[in-house]
Amino acid sequence: MFVGTGSDVGKSVITTGFCRIFRQDGYTPAPFKAQNMSLNSYATPEGLEIGRAQAVQAEACAIPCHTDMNPVLLKPTTDLSAQVVLHGTPAGNTSAAEYFLTRDRETLFTEVKNAYHRLASRHTPIVMEGAGSISELNLKHLDITNMRMAMAAGAAAYLVADIDRGGVFGSCYGTMALLSPEERACIKGIIINKFRGDARLFDSGRVQLEGLCGVPVVGVVPYFRDIFIEEEDSISTTEKGRNYLSGKINIVVVLLQRLSNFTDFHQLSRDQRVNLYYSHHPDDIEKADIIILPGSKNTIEDLATLYETGVVEAIRRAHSRQKTIIGICGGYQMLGQRIDDPDQVESSKGSLEGIGILPVSTILQKNKTTLQRQFRFRGNAHICEGYEIHMGETRPLGLANPLNQFINAAGTPTYGSTASDGYYLNDRCWGTYLHGILDNAIVIDSLLARYTDKKGQTPDHRRYKEEQYDRLAALLREHLDIDYIYKTLKN
Protein backbone atom coordinates (compact mmCIF):
# COMPACT_ATOMS: atom_id res chain seq x y z
CA MET A 1 0.00 0.00 0.00
CA PHE A 2 1.22 3.48 -0.87
CA VAL A 3 0.13 6.09 1.66
CA GLY A 4 1.03 9.76 1.90
CA THR A 5 2.21 12.56 4.12
CA GLY A 6 -0.46 14.64 2.36
CA SER A 7 -2.48 15.04 -0.81
CA ASP A 8 -0.85 15.28 -4.24
CA VAL A 9 2.45 13.72 -3.15
CA GLY A 10 2.36 11.22 -6.03
CA LYS A 11 0.65 8.17 -4.51
CA SER A 12 -1.52 7.51 -7.57
CA VAL A 13 1.39 7.62 -10.02
CA ILE A 14 3.62 5.39 -7.87
CA THR A 15 0.73 2.94 -7.41
CA THR A 16 0.30 2.90 -11.19
CA GLY A 17 4.00 2.21 -11.67
CA PHE A 18 3.94 -0.76 -9.30
CA CYS A 19 0.84 -2.14 -11.00
CA ARG A 20 2.93 -2.31 -14.18
CA ILE A 21 6.04 -3.65 -12.39
CA PHE A 22 4.14 -6.57 -10.87
CA ARG A 23 2.48 -7.28 -14.22
CA GLN A 24 5.88 -7.29 -15.95
CA ASP A 25 7.19 -9.69 -13.32
CA GLY A 26 4.54 -12.28 -14.09
CA TYR A 27 1.97 -11.56 -11.37
CA THR A 28 -1.73 -10.73 -11.76
CA PRO A 29 -2.00 -7.45 -9.84
CA ALA A 30 -5.01 -5.22 -9.35
CA PRO A 31 -5.36 -1.72 -7.85
CA PHE A 32 -7.50 -0.86 -4.85
CA LYS A 33 -8.51 2.42 -3.25
CA ALA A 34 -11.24 2.02 -0.67
CA GLN A 35 -12.59 5.56 -0.92
CA ASN A 36 -11.82 8.12 -3.58
CA MET A 37 -12.92 11.75 -3.73
CA SER A 38 -12.75 12.89 -7.33
CA LEU A 39 -14.71 14.44 -10.17
CA ASN A 40 -12.64 12.39 -12.59
CA SER A 41 -14.46 9.09 -13.03
CA TYR A 42 -14.79 6.26 -15.53
CA ALA A 43 -17.35 3.69 -16.66
CA THR A 44 -16.58 0.00 -16.11
CA PRO A 45 -17.42 -2.64 -18.74
CA GLU A 46 -20.50 -3.48 -16.64
CA GLY A 47 -21.75 0.10 -16.90
CA LEU A 48 -20.83 1.18 -13.36
CA GLU A 49 -18.69 4.07 -12.10
CA ILE A 50 -15.29 4.24 -10.38
CA GLY A 51 -12.53 6.79 -9.94
CA ARG A 52 -10.52 7.41 -13.08
CA ALA A 53 -7.24 6.80 -11.23
CA GLN A 54 -8.18 3.19 -10.49
CA ALA A 55 -9.21 2.69 -14.12
CA VAL A 56 -5.76 3.94 -15.17
CA GLN A 57 -4.10 1.63 -12.65
CA ALA A 58 -6.16 -1.31 -13.93
CA GLU A 59 -4.95 -0.44 -17.41
CA ALA A 60 -1.36 -0.62 -16.14
CA CYS A 61 -2.23 -4.09 -14.80
CA ALA A 62 -3.62 -4.99 -18.26
CA ILE A 63 -7.02 -5.93 -16.81
CA PRO A 64 -10.52 -4.45 -17.13
CA CYS A 65 -11.49 -2.04 -14.37
CA HIS A 66 -14.06 -3.13 -11.78
CA THR A 67 -15.98 -1.46 -8.95
CA ASP A 68 -14.20 -3.67 -6.39
CA MET A 69 -11.10 -1.57 -7.15
CA ASN A 70 -12.85 1.56 -5.82
CA PRO A 71 -15.97 0.63 -3.83
CA VAL A 72 -16.66 4.17 -2.55
CA LEU A 73 -16.42 7.23 -4.79
CA LEU A 74 -17.30 10.72 -3.57
CA LYS A 75 -18.06 13.27 -6.31
CA PRO A 76 -18.29 16.83 -4.95
CA THR A 77 -21.37 18.71 -6.16
CA THR A 78 -20.84 21.87 -4.07
CA ASP A 79 -18.25 23.02 -1.55
CA LEU A 80 -20.22 21.28 1.19
CA SER A 81 -21.81 18.23 -0.42
CA ALA A 82 -21.02 15.30 -2.66
CA GLN A 83 -22.68 12.46 -4.49
CA VAL A 84 -21.86 9.10 -2.91
CA VAL A 85 -21.24 6.30 -5.40
CA LEU A 86 -21.22 2.88 -3.73
CA HIS A 87 -20.10 -0.14 -5.73
CA GLY A 88 -20.47 1.90 -8.91
CA THR A 89 -24.03 3.13 -8.31
CA PRO A 90 -25.17 6.51 -6.91
CA ALA A 91 -26.35 6.18 -3.31
CA GLY A 92 -27.54 9.77 -2.91
CA ASN A 93 -26.09 13.18 -2.11
CA THR A 94 -24.75 14.04 1.33
CA SER A 95 -22.95 16.81 3.14
CA ALA A 96 -19.47 16.16 4.49
CA ALA A 97 -20.82 16.29 8.03
CA GLU A 98 -23.57 13.77 7.26
CA TYR A 99 -21.17 11.45 5.48
CA PHE A 100 -18.48 11.40 8.13
CA LEU A 101 -20.53 11.84 11.29
CA THR A 102 -23.90 10.16 10.75
CA ARG A 103 -23.28 7.35 8.28
CA ASP A 104 -22.74 3.88 9.69
CA ARG A 105 -18.97 3.69 9.28
CA GLU A 106 -18.75 0.05 10.36
CA THR A 107 -21.24 -1.01 7.72
CA LEU A 108 -19.39 1.05 5.11
CA PHE A 109 -16.05 -0.38 6.22
CA THR A 110 -17.49 -3.89 5.92
CA GLU A 111 -18.55 -3.12 2.33
CA VAL A 112 -15.04 -1.85 1.59
CA LYS A 113 -13.37 -4.92 3.11
CA ASN A 114 -15.69 -7.24 1.23
CA ALA A 115 -14.73 -5.55 -2.03
CA TYR A 116 -11.06 -5.94 -1.15
CA HIS A 117 -11.42 -9.65 -0.38
CA ARG A 118 -13.34 -10.30 -3.61
CA LEU A 119 -10.57 -8.58 -5.53
CA ALA A 120 -7.83 -10.43 -3.62
CA SER A 121 -9.49 -13.75 -4.49
CA ARG A 122 -8.95 -12.97 -8.18
CA HIS A 123 -5.64 -11.08 -8.21
CA THR A 124 -2.26 -10.98 -6.51
CA PRO A 125 -0.79 -8.75 -5.31
CA ILE A 126 -3.34 -6.06 -4.60
CA VAL A 127 -1.66 -2.67 -5.03
CA MET A 128 -3.43 -0.35 -2.62
CA GLU A 129 -3.51 3.43 -2.49
CA GLY A 130 -4.28 5.64 0.48
CA ALA A 131 -5.98 9.03 0.46
CA GLY A 132 -4.50 12.35 1.55
CA SER A 133 -2.52 12.28 4.79
CA ILE A 134 -2.56 9.25 7.06
CA SER A 135 -2.13 11.40 10.19
CA GLU A 136 -5.35 13.43 10.29
CA LEU A 137 -6.07 12.78 13.97
CA ASN A 138 -9.63 14.16 13.90
CA LEU A 139 -10.62 11.75 11.12
CA LYS A 140 -8.67 8.61 12.00
CA HIS A 141 -11.53 7.03 13.94
CA LEU A 142 -13.67 7.43 10.80
CA ASP A 143 -11.03 5.98 8.49
CA ILE A 144 -12.01 3.40 5.90
CA THR A 145 -9.21 4.25 3.48
CA ASN A 146 -5.77 4.56 5.06
CA MET A 147 -4.08 2.70 7.92
CA ARG A 148 -7.23 0.99 9.12
CA MET A 149 -7.55 -0.57 5.69
CA ALA A 150 -3.82 -1.36 5.61
CA MET A 151 -4.12 -3.26 8.89
CA ALA A 152 -7.27 -5.06 7.75
CA ALA A 153 -5.48 -6.23 4.60
CA GLY A 154 -2.16 -6.97 6.27
CA ALA A 155 -0.53 -4.65 3.77
CA ALA A 156 3.12 -3.65 3.60
CA ALA A 157 2.73 0.12 3.51
CA TYR A 158 5.15 2.69 2.10
CA LEU A 159 4.98 6.35 3.03
CA VAL A 160 5.29 8.68 0.03
CA ALA A 161 6.58 12.22 0.62
CA ASP A 162 6.89 15.07 -1.88
CA ILE A 163 10.28 16.73 -1.41
CA ASP A 164 9.53 19.32 -4.11
CA ARG A 165 7.03 21.12 -1.87
CA GLY A 166 9.56 21.33 0.98
CA GLY A 167 9.41 20.23 4.60
CA VAL A 168 10.06 16.56 3.88
CA PHE A 169 11.74 15.89 7.25
CA GLY A 170 8.90 17.43 9.22
CA SER A 171 6.19 15.80 7.15
CA CYS A 172 7.73 12.31 7.39
CA TYR A 173 8.70 12.52 11.06
CA GLY A 174 5.41 14.12 12.05
CA THR A 175 3.42 11.54 10.12
CA MET A 176 5.25 8.63 11.74
CA ALA A 177 5.08 10.18 15.22
CA LEU A 178 1.29 10.51 15.03
CA LEU A 179 0.72 6.86 14.11
CA SER A 180 -0.26 4.29 16.70
CA PRO A 181 2.25 1.46 17.32
CA GLU A 182 0.00 -0.90 15.31
CA GLU A 183 -0.16 1.54 12.39
CA ARG A 184 3.56 2.24 12.53
CA ALA A 185 4.28 -1.49 12.30
CA CYS A 186 2.64 -1.52 8.85
CA ILE A 187 5.06 1.10 7.46
CA LYS A 188 7.97 -0.74 5.85
CA GLY A 189 9.72 2.22 4.25
CA ILE A 190 9.66 5.76 2.93
CA ILE A 191 9.70 6.88 -0.71
CA ILE A 192 10.99 10.37 -1.41
CA ASN A 193 9.21 11.62 -4.50
CA LYS A 194 9.70 14.51 -6.97
CA PHE A 195 13.39 15.18 -6.25
CA ARG A 196 14.99 17.80 -8.48
CA GLY A 197 18.70 17.59 -9.25
CA ASP A 198 21.39 15.13 -8.17
CA ALA A 199 19.91 12.64 -5.69
CA ARG A 200 23.36 12.06 -4.17
CA LEU A 201 22.91 15.41 -2.45
CA PHE A 202 20.26 13.74 -0.32
CA ASP A 203 22.46 10.81 0.80
CA SER A 204 23.05 12.27 4.26
CA GLY A 205 19.38 13.26 4.42
CA ARG A 206 18.37 9.65 3.86
CA VAL A 207 20.46 8.53 6.81
CA GLN A 208 19.05 11.27 9.03
CA LEU A 209 15.46 10.52 7.97
CA GLU A 210 15.90 6.80 8.61
CA GLY A 211 17.21 7.60 12.09
CA LEU A 212 14.26 9.85 12.84
CA CYS A 213 11.55 7.58 11.47
CA GLY A 214 12.93 4.12 12.21
CA VAL A 215 12.29 2.73 8.72
CA PRO A 216 14.49 2.72 5.59
CA VAL A 217 14.23 5.22 2.78
CA VAL A 218 13.78 2.78 -0.09
CA GLY A 219 14.55 5.28 -2.81
CA VAL A 220 14.43 8.80 -4.18
CA VAL A 221 12.27 9.21 -7.29
CA PRO A 222 13.26 12.13 -9.53
CA TYR A 223 10.86 14.85 -10.61
CA PHE A 224 9.99 14.00 -14.21
CA ARG A 225 8.26 15.83 -17.04
CA ASP A 226 8.74 13.35 -19.88
CA ILE A 227 6.49 10.51 -18.67
CA PHE A 228 2.78 11.18 -18.97
CA ILE A 229 0.50 9.38 -16.54
CA GLU A 230 -3.01 10.65 -15.90
CA GLU A 231 -3.16 12.37 -12.52
CA GLU A 232 -6.01 11.64 -10.16
CA ASP A 233 -7.75 14.98 -9.95
CA SER A 234 -5.72 18.01 -10.97
CA ILE A 235 -5.15 19.94 -14.16
CA SER A 236 -1.49 20.42 -15.01
CA THR A 237 -0.22 23.73 -13.63
CA THR A 238 1.58 24.12 -16.97
CA GLU A 239 -1.73 24.02 -18.85
CA LYS A 240 -3.38 26.30 -16.28
CA GLY A 241 -0.63 28.86 -16.79
CA ARG A 242 -0.76 28.89 -20.59
CA ASN A 243 -2.45 31.53 -22.66
CA TYR A 244 -2.82 32.51 -26.30
CA LEU A 245 0.23 31.51 -28.38
CA SER A 246 0.86 32.84 -31.87
CA GLY A 247 1.56 30.24 -34.57
CA LYS A 248 -0.57 27.52 -32.96
CA ILE A 249 -4.22 26.55 -33.03
CA ASN A 250 -5.34 28.01 -29.72
CA ILE A 251 -7.87 25.90 -27.83
CA VAL A 252 -9.34 27.04 -24.53
CA VAL A 253 -11.13 24.70 -22.13
CA VAL A 254 -13.56 26.73 -20.05
CA LEU A 255 -12.38 26.34 -16.47
CA LEU A 256 -15.53 25.42 -14.55
CA GLN A 257 -15.71 25.33 -10.76
CA ARG A 258 -16.85 21.71 -10.84
CA LEU A 259 -15.06 20.59 -13.99
CA SER A 260 -15.13 16.82 -14.38
CA ASN A 261 -13.06 14.42 -16.46
CA PHE A 262 -10.29 16.87 -17.37
CA THR A 263 -8.47 13.85 -18.83
CA ASP A 264 -10.68 14.33 -21.90
CA PHE A 265 -8.08 16.84 -23.11
CA HIS A 266 -4.76 15.08 -22.46
CA GLN A 267 -4.41 13.73 -25.98
CA LEU A 268 -5.38 17.05 -27.54
CA SER A 269 -2.87 18.94 -25.38
CA ARG A 270 -0.02 16.80 -26.75
CA ASP A 271 -0.85 17.55 -30.39
CA GLN A 272 1.99 19.61 -31.89
CA ARG A 273 -0.46 21.76 -33.83
CA VAL A 274 -2.24 22.91 -30.70
CA ASN A 275 -1.78 25.28 -27.78
CA LEU A 276 -4.35 24.19 -25.18
CA TYR A 277 -5.05 26.19 -22.04
CA TYR A 278 -7.72 26.55 -19.36
CA SER A 279 -9.40 29.82 -18.41
CA HIS A 280 -12.55 31.35 -16.91
CA HIS A 281 -11.79 34.87 -18.15
CA PRO A 282 -14.02 36.11 -21.03
CA ASP A 283 -11.11 37.73 -22.92
CA ASP A 284 -9.02 34.54 -22.85
CA ILE A 285 -12.01 32.53 -24.04
CA GLU A 286 -13.14 34.84 -26.81
CA LYS A 287 -9.74 35.13 -28.49
CA ALA A 288 -9.18 31.35 -28.80
CA ASP A 289 -9.76 29.60 -32.12
CA ILE A 290 -11.64 26.73 -30.51
CA ILE A 291 -13.67 26.85 -27.29
CA ILE A 292 -14.47 23.64 -25.42
CA LEU A 293 -17.12 23.51 -22.72
CA PRO A 294 -16.17 20.47 -20.62
CA GLY A 295 -18.12 18.21 -18.28
CA SER A 296 -19.43 19.44 -14.94
CA LYS A 297 -20.72 17.74 -11.80
CA ASN A 298 -23.19 20.60 -11.35
CA THR A 299 -24.14 21.87 -14.78
CA ILE A 300 -26.76 24.43 -13.74
CA GLU A 301 -24.64 26.03 -11.01
CA ASP A 302 -21.58 26.18 -13.27
CA LEU A 303 -23.65 27.66 -16.09
CA ALA A 304 -25.07 30.27 -13.70
CA THR A 305 -21.50 31.26 -12.83
CA LEU A 306 -20.66 31.58 -16.54
CA TYR A 307 -23.56 34.01 -16.90
CA GLU A 308 -22.41 36.04 -13.90
CA THR A 309 -18.80 36.30 -15.10
CA GLY A 310 -19.60 37.23 -18.70
CA VAL A 311 -18.35 33.96 -20.17
CA VAL A 312 -21.70 33.09 -21.77
CA GLU A 313 -21.73 36.37 -23.72
CA ALA A 314 -18.09 35.78 -24.71
CA ILE A 315 -19.02 32.36 -26.09
CA ARG A 316 -21.98 33.80 -27.99
CA ARG A 317 -19.79 36.52 -29.51
CA ALA A 318 -17.18 33.93 -30.47
CA HIS A 319 -19.89 31.86 -32.17
CA SER A 320 -21.10 34.89 -34.14
CA ARG A 321 -17.48 35.43 -35.28
CA GLN A 322 -17.36 31.87 -36.69
CA LYS A 323 -15.16 30.44 -33.94
CA THR A 324 -15.41 26.69 -33.25
CA ILE A 325 -17.36 25.76 -30.12
CA ILE A 326 -17.95 22.24 -28.85
CA GLY A 327 -19.47 20.85 -25.68
CA ILE A 328 -18.79 17.57 -23.89
CA CYS A 329 -21.30 16.09 -21.42
CA GLY A 330 -22.31 19.01 -19.15
CA GLY A 331 -20.84 21.38 -21.72
CA TYR A 332 -23.13 19.84 -24.35
CA GLN A 333 -26.10 20.48 -22.07
CA MET A 334 -25.00 24.10 -21.57
CA LEU A 335 -24.85 24.77 -25.32
CA GLY A 336 -28.54 23.93 -25.67
CA GLN A 337 -31.62 26.10 -25.22
CA ARG A 338 -32.58 25.08 -21.69
CA ILE A 339 -31.67 22.80 -18.78
CA ASP A 340 -34.44 21.63 -16.45
CA ASP A 341 -33.86 19.93 -13.10
CA PRO A 342 -37.39 19.13 -11.85
CA ASP A 343 -36.18 16.78 -9.11
CA GLN A 344 -33.33 19.11 -8.07
CA VAL A 345 -30.80 16.42 -8.84
CA GLU A 346 -28.00 18.99 -9.05
CA SER A 347 -29.41 22.38 -8.12
CA SER A 348 -32.22 24.08 -6.23
CA LYS A 349 -32.59 26.53 -9.13
CA GLY A 350 -34.84 24.08 -10.98
CA SER A 351 -34.05 25.32 -14.48
CA LEU A 352 -31.86 27.71 -16.42
CA GLU A 353 -31.68 29.08 -19.94
CA GLY A 354 -28.84 27.54 -21.92
CA ILE A 355 -26.29 29.35 -24.03
CA GLY A 356 -28.66 28.80 -26.96
CA ILE A 357 -26.36 27.71 -29.77
CA LEU A 358 -27.50 24.09 -30.22
CA PRO A 359 -31.21 23.34 -30.85
CA VAL A 360 -31.49 20.85 -27.98
CA SER A 361 -32.97 20.83 -24.49
CA THR A 362 -31.96 18.82 -21.41
CA ILE A 363 -33.88 17.34 -18.49
CA LEU A 364 -31.72 16.19 -15.59
CA GLN A 365 -32.80 12.86 -14.11
CA LYS A 366 -32.09 10.80 -11.01
CA ASN A 367 -30.84 7.79 -12.96
CA LYS A 368 -27.22 7.95 -14.07
CA THR A 369 -25.98 6.68 -17.44
CA THR A 370 -22.56 4.99 -17.17
CA LEU A 371 -21.55 3.12 -20.32
CA GLN A 372 -18.47 2.35 -22.37
CA ARG A 373 -19.16 3.03 -26.05
CA GLN A 374 -17.84 2.23 -29.49
CA PHE A 375 -19.03 4.62 -32.17
CA ARG A 376 -18.53 6.11 -35.61
CA PHE A 377 -17.86 9.85 -35.64
CA ARG A 378 -19.84 11.83 -38.23
CA GLY A 379 -20.50 8.72 -40.33
CA ASN A 380 -16.82 7.82 -40.71
CA ALA A 381 -16.07 4.11 -41.06
CA HIS A 382 -13.35 4.25 -38.39
CA ILE A 383 -14.40 2.76 -35.02
CA CYS A 384 -13.83 5.14 -32.10
CA GLU A 385 -14.08 4.60 -28.33
CA GLY A 386 -15.44 6.68 -25.46
CA TYR A 387 -17.67 6.46 -22.41
CA GLU A 388 -20.77 8.10 -20.96
CA ILE A 389 -21.22 9.34 -17.37
CA HIS A 390 -24.16 11.71 -16.99
CA MET A 391 -27.48 12.29 -15.27
CA GLY A 392 -29.79 13.69 -17.89
CA GLU A 393 -31.40 13.29 -21.28
CA THR A 394 -30.83 15.77 -24.09
CA ARG A 395 -33.31 15.88 -26.96
CA PRO A 396 -33.34 17.86 -30.23
CA LEU A 397 -35.89 20.62 -30.67
CA GLY A 398 -36.83 19.56 -34.16
CA LEU A 399 -35.11 17.11 -36.47
CA ALA A 400 -32.30 15.09 -34.93
CA ASN A 401 -28.82 15.45 -36.37
CA PRO A 402 -26.64 13.14 -34.27
CA LEU A 403 -22.89 13.47 -34.14
CA ASN A 404 -22.06 9.83 -33.42
CA GLN A 405 -23.54 6.46 -34.33
CA PHE A 406 -23.10 3.75 -31.70
CA ILE A 407 -22.01 0.29 -32.82
CA ASN A 408 -22.24 -3.07 -31.09
CA ALA A 409 -19.58 -5.71 -30.44
CA ALA A 410 -19.99 -7.05 -33.97
CA GLY A 411 -19.11 -3.63 -35.40
CA THR A 412 -22.58 -2.96 -36.79
CA PRO A 413 -24.81 0.02 -35.95
CA THR A 414 -27.24 -0.15 -33.04
CA TYR A 415 -30.84 0.90 -33.46
CA GLY A 416 -33.53 2.51 -31.35
CA SER A 417 -33.79 5.66 -29.27
CA THR A 418 -30.30 5.24 -27.78
CA ALA A 419 -28.52 4.33 -31.01
CA SER A 420 -26.80 7.68 -31.45
CA ASP A 421 -25.23 10.51 -29.51
CA GLY A 422 -24.91 14.24 -29.56
CA TYR A 423 -25.91 16.94 -31.99
CA TYR A 424 -23.98 18.15 -35.06
CA LEU A 425 -24.84 21.73 -35.99
CA ASN A 426 -21.96 22.23 -38.43
CA ASP A 427 -18.19 21.82 -38.54
CA ARG A 428 -17.90 24.76 -36.12
CA CYS A 429 -20.27 23.54 -33.43
CA TRP A 430 -21.32 20.21 -31.99
CA GLY A 431 -22.05 18.57 -28.67
CA THR A 432 -21.63 15.07 -27.27
CA TYR A 433 -22.09 13.08 -24.09
CA LEU A 434 -18.98 11.01 -24.83
CA HIS A 435 -16.00 11.47 -22.57
CA GLY A 436 -12.80 10.33 -24.26
CA ILE A 437 -14.05 11.41 -27.68
CA LEU A 438 -10.89 13.50 -28.11
CA ASP A 439 -8.68 10.47 -27.49
CA ASN A 440 -9.51 9.47 -31.07
CA ALA A 441 -7.16 10.90 -33.71
CA ILE A 442 -9.89 11.06 -36.35
CA VAL A 443 -11.94 13.37 -34.11
CA ILE A 444 -8.98 15.64 -33.39
CA ASP A 445 -8.13 15.89 -37.09
CA SER A 446 -11.74 16.80 -37.88
CA LEU A 447 -11.80 19.43 -35.14
CA LEU A 448 -8.60 21.06 -36.41
CA ALA A 449 -9.31 20.73 -40.15
CA ARG A 450 -10.60 24.34 -40.47
CA TYR A 451 -7.29 25.66 -39.15
CA THR A 452 -4.58 23.52 -40.73
CA ASP A 453 -3.86 21.13 -43.59
CA LYS A 454 -1.35 19.24 -41.47
CA LYS A 455 -2.32 15.82 -40.20
CA GLY A 456 -1.62 14.99 -36.59
CA GLN A 457 1.57 13.31 -35.46
CA THR A 458 0.00 12.11 -32.21
CA PRO A 459 0.69 8.38 -31.71
CA ASP A 460 -2.02 5.81 -31.22
CA HIS A 461 -3.47 6.65 -27.82
CA ARG A 462 -3.59 3.10 -26.47
CA ARG A 463 -0.05 2.29 -27.60
CA TYR A 464 1.17 5.61 -26.25
CA LYS A 465 -0.25 4.90 -22.78
CA GLU A 466 1.32 1.44 -22.74
CA GLU A 467 4.69 3.00 -23.48
CA GLN A 468 4.23 5.48 -20.63
CA TYR A 469 3.41 2.72 -18.13
CA ASP A 470 6.55 0.84 -19.17
CA ARG A 471 8.68 3.98 -18.87
CA LEU A 472 7.27 4.70 -15.41
CA ALA A 473 8.01 1.14 -14.29
CA ALA A 474 11.58 1.44 -15.57
CA LEU A 475 12.06 4.72 -13.70
CA LEU A 476 10.85 3.20 -10.42
CA ARG A 477 13.03 0.12 -10.87
CA GLU A 478 16.03 2.38 -11.37
CA HIS A 479 15.49 4.55 -8.30
CA LEU A 480 13.79 2.27 -5.74
CA ASP A 481 14.99 -0.85 -3.93
CA ILE A 482 12.56 -3.24 -5.61
CA ASP A 483 14.21 -6.31 -4.03
CA TYR A 484 13.58 -4.93 -0.55
CA ILE A 485 9.94 -4.19 -1.43
CA TYR A 486 9.45 -7.75 -2.65
CA LYS A 487 10.94 -9.07 0.61
CA THR A 488 8.46 -7.09 2.68
CA LEU A 489 5.59 -8.51 0.63
CA LYS A 490 6.80 -12.08 1.22
CA ASN A 491 7.09 -11.44 4.94
Domains in the chain, CATH or no CATH each: 2-229+466-490 (3.40.50.300), 237-458 (3.40.50.880)
Answer whether 217's CB lies under 8 Å from 206's CB.
yes
End-to-end distance of the chain based on CA atoms, in angstroms?
14
pLDDT of residue 92: 85
How many secondary structure helices (H) and strands (E) does the chain include? 17, 29
**Which pLDDT belongs to residue 31?**
98
Query: Of 66, 435, 461, 479, which residue is the catalytic one?
Result: 435
- The yes-or-no answer on residue 329 being catalytic is yes
Residue 265 contacts residue 303 (beta carbons within 8 Å): no
Q: At what angle do helices 52-60 and 461-479 cross, to 10 degrees?
A: 80
The CB density around residue 122, as the number of other CB atoms within 10 Å, is: 12
Q: How far is CA 193 from the centre of its chain?
A: 21
Convert the pLDDT of each residue in 115-138 to its tens digit. 999 999 999 999 999 999 999 998
The answer to whether the beta carbons of residues 268 and 304 sit under 8 Å apart is: no
Tell me which residues of the chain have a pLDDT lower than 70.
103, 232-241, 410-417, 456-459, 491
Catalytic, out of 61, 186, 329, 384: 329
Q: How many residues does the chain have?
A: 491
Burial of 477 (0-12, 13-18, 19+ CB in 10 A): middle
Q: Return the closest-CA partner of residue 221 out of 16, 58, 462.
A: 16
Are 419 and 407 contacting, i.e. CB atoms less than 8 angstroms apart? no
Phi, psi for residue 416 in degrees, rounded to 5: 110, -170
pLDDT of res. 415: 61
Separation of alpha carbons 172 and 211, rounded Å: 12
pLDDT (0 to 100) of residue 77: 82
